[in-house]
Amino acid sequence: MIGAIIIAVVLVVVIPVGVALSGGAIAGTLGFFLKKEGEAANEGSELIELNR
């Protein structure tokens, strides 16, 4: 019986929290590198200054 409770807690609490945290970390990292890439690819454009 205790095994079923542990599995239920893992399915309801641990996995969704882990997915949300890892998704946030991946989104932040991806955004950082894509911003850096965009600024490097469009260096000298007046739109870069307008975006700040």
Evaluate whether residue 33 is within a structural domain: yes
Residue 50 DSSP symbol: H
Q: State both tokens at 39.
A: 């600024």
Say whether pTM exceeds 0.95.
no
In tens, the pLDDT along 1-52 reads 999 999 999 999 999 999 999 999 999 999 999 999 988 998 888 877 777 7
Evaluate whether residue 7 is within a structural domain: no
pLDDT of residue 51: 72
Q: Are 47 and 38 in contact (CB under 8 A)?
A: no
Segments forming the whole domain that contains residue 38: 26-52
Evaluate whether residue 38 is within a structural domain: yes
Give the number of domains in the chain: 1
